[in-house]
Amino acid sequence: MGFVRSVVAPGETLIVHSHPHWRGLVRPALVTVIGAGLAGIAGGFIETQVVHPGDRAATWAMVAGLYLLVVLRFGLWPALRWARTDLVVTDERVLYRPAGSSRRCVDVPLRRVSAVRFQHTLADRALGTGCLILECGHLPPVEIDHVPGVARVHATVYDELLRLPPPPPPGPPAPAARFRWGLPGRR
């Protein structure tokens, strides 16, 4: 919650704060459990096949080190990335901060959003997730994947767009520059 407190300005109301969908944690959990099972099977082979105690200890250390490396890389690192990725919707903007080695933060003021839509596949519908798409005029659309409850977030952003006051009317046109004959600097 520290990140959210640091980005929400005074007077700004937090409406939605979420992380990516929980399905991003399935693979790290499976890697950890299956890796533990494979390490246990390897340990059984070590106990029955390796006779010398020094070789047995070295082989156990290799298996434990390999298991630790696999769990750190394919289990803990993706889980930390999931926990450090935030989607924040306030009454003034939409902020998306993916975690990882490259910190690319997307901060879209609601006044710049011209359209908001979402898409999801049949599997996404079953899991309650999808892709939120924010269109900002002539710029390429901002796509935020794996948003949990994407239909609810879409409705929330759309409601906030409707609550914004209309833009002020355009002012009077600026007078056109006068064309002068002659050389520059001469009157």
Beta strand ranges found along the chain (DSSP E) = 14-18, 86-90, 93-97, 106-109, 115-119, 129-135, 142-148
Residue 38 has what pLDDT? 94
DSSP 141-168: PEEEEEEETHHHHHHHHHHHHHHSPPPP
Predicted pLDDT of residue 182: 63
pLDDT at 2 (0 to 100): 65
pLDDT at 50: 85
Q: Which pLDDT value is given to residue 176?
A: 74
Q: Check residue 103 and give its pLDDT.
A: 63
Note the pLDDT of residue 164. Answer: 87
The predicted pLDDT at position 184 comes to 64
pLDDT along the chain (187 residues), means of 10: 75 90 93 94 89 89 94 93 90 86 77 91 92 90 92 93 84 76 61
Report pTM. Answer: 0.75
Distance, in Å, from the CA atom of 104 to the CA atom of 144, rounded to the nearest integer, reads: 12
